[in-house]
Amino acid sequence: MMLRIRNLSASVDGKPILRGLELDVCAGEVHAIMGPNGSGKSTFAQVLAGRDTYHVVADELSFQGRDLRQMPPEIRAREGIFLAFQYPVEIPGVSNLYFLRAAVNAVRAHRGLPELDAVDFMSRARDEAKSLGMDDAMLKRSLNEGFSGGEKKRNEILQMKLLEPRLAILDESDSGLDIDALRIVADGINTMRSVDRAIIVVTHYQRLLNYVVPDRVHVLIGGRIIRSGSKELAMELEEKGYGWLEEQAAAERSEYKPGAKRKRDSAQPQENPQPSRKVS
């Protein structure tokens, strides 16, 4: 088992966002996590990457058999977890290429591999960038600064390809893309599919899943996975929306017997408070 999650809860400033999430992901699999806005999708992605603004409680949160809670974000990254951000951060004054090389070399050092020198790295980065339709100028510019939405998403995929993670989490990597950019991003994700790598695609829409076909689809509502199924579940959601599942989730919740450590939760899932940060 690559990723094993039992009864994961996360809150920010005392407001619960994830409430007892359970998930198993094996190497070689692609999982899609879908859900309406505010259901906790981005929180889940950020928690996996190690964001410390969330208070995290779980019975188990393990990656390749090791407890993730003991690892700061940079160790998670070096161990092979990669998060493609929904909103990549703009960092003025730091060139994209310099950043990419620093990241790749940090991960390589952890794996006992020699540093890539600037020339070798440059040619690799150029090749990968080209395959994503990015020109050299984007490598030399400041990291994400002034990039369009689509350029930022491609730059995230570029990082994933260069860092070669074992578990890639893609948070809304499809949002705001036109169909051509979507295909490029999807191709980038598909080239990463392999038997020893797992991919979690977090998305609001079924559109990306036409190109990146998942092995499993999970619906996250109110901070819990309330339904899992095959790729057909995504089709069903596209057709019916999330409303019918939200009602069902609310009904289940009213019957839900809280665990000893948790309080009974009366909030309606669709009225989940938004965290103060930019996550949805």
Partner 1 sequence: MSTVIAEQNVYGAQFSSMREHLPGSHWPWVERLRQKGMDDFLALGFPTTKLENWKYTNVAPLRRITFQPPIDQPLPPIRKLDSGQTRLVFVNGRFDPAFSTIDVRLNFHLRTIREALRDRKPASGIENHLGRYTRTSDHAFAAWNTAFFTDGAYIELPRGSVCEQPIHLVFIAAGNTEPWACHPRNLIVAGEGSQITFIEEFIGWNDSAHLTNIVTEIAAGPGAVLDYYKIEHESHQGFHVAVINAHLAKDASLTSHSISFGGSLVRNDLNVSLDGEGSHCTLNGLFVADGRRLIDNHTRIDHLRPHASSREIYKGVLAGNAEGVFNGAIAVHENARKADAVQYSKNLLLSTEAQINTKPQLEIRNNDVRCFHGATIGQIDTDAAFYLNSRGIAEHDAKGILIRGFAGEIIDTIRVPKVRGELEYQLNEWLRSVLEAS
Residues of this chain that bind partner 1 (CB under 8 A): 49-53, 72-74, 76-78, 82-83, 85, 88-89, 91-94, 99, 102-103, 106-107, 110, 142, 159, 163, 277
Structure tokens at 166: 């074992």
Are 240 and 53 in contact by the 8 Å Cβ rule? The answer is no
Task: Please state the closest distance from residue 248 (CB atom) to partner 1, in A.
Answer: 34
Task: Please state the closest distance from residue 91 (CB atom) to partner 1, in A.
Answer: 5
What is the Cα–Cα distance from 59 to 6, expressed in whole angstroms? Answer: 5
Q: Hey, which residues does 4 pair with through a beta bridge?
A: 24, 62
> Helix H segments across 61-135?
73-79, 96-110, 118-131
Task: Please state the closest distance from residue 160 (CB atom) to partner 1, in A.
Answer: 10
C-alpha separations of 30 from 2, 49, 51, 69, 158 in Å: 12, 18, 23, 23, 19
What is the Cα–Cα distance from 189 to 181, expressed in whole angstroms? Answer: 12
Nearer to partner 1, 51 or 216 (CB): 51
Within 8 A by CB and 6+ apart from 117, the residues are none
Are 2 and 64 in contact by the 8 Å Cβ rule? The answer is yes
Nearer to partner 1, 99 or 205 (CB): 99
Nearer to partner 1, 197 or 224 (CB): 197
Nearer to partner 1, 94 or 267 (CB): 94
Task: Please state the closest distance from residue 99 (CB atom) to partner 1, in A.
Answer: 7
Nearer to partner 1, 173 or 206 (CB): 173
Are 83 and 169 in contact by the 8 Å Cβ rule? The answer is yes
Q: Which long-range contacts (CB under 8 A, 24 or more apart) does 272-275 make?
A: 272/17, 272/38, 272/39, 272/40, 272/222, 272/223, 273/15, 274/38, 275/12, 275/13, 275/15, 275/17, 275/43
Task: Please state the closest distance from residue 161 (CB atom) to partner 1, in A.
Answer: 13
Task: Please state the closest distance from residue 227 (CB atom) to partner 1, in A.
Answer: 29
Nearer to partner 1, 141 or 227 (CB): 141
Nearer to partner 1, 56 or 235 (CB): 56
Q: Which residue has the tokens 């505010």?
A: 38
Task: Please state the closest distance from residue 98 (CB atom) to partner 1, in A.
Answer: 8
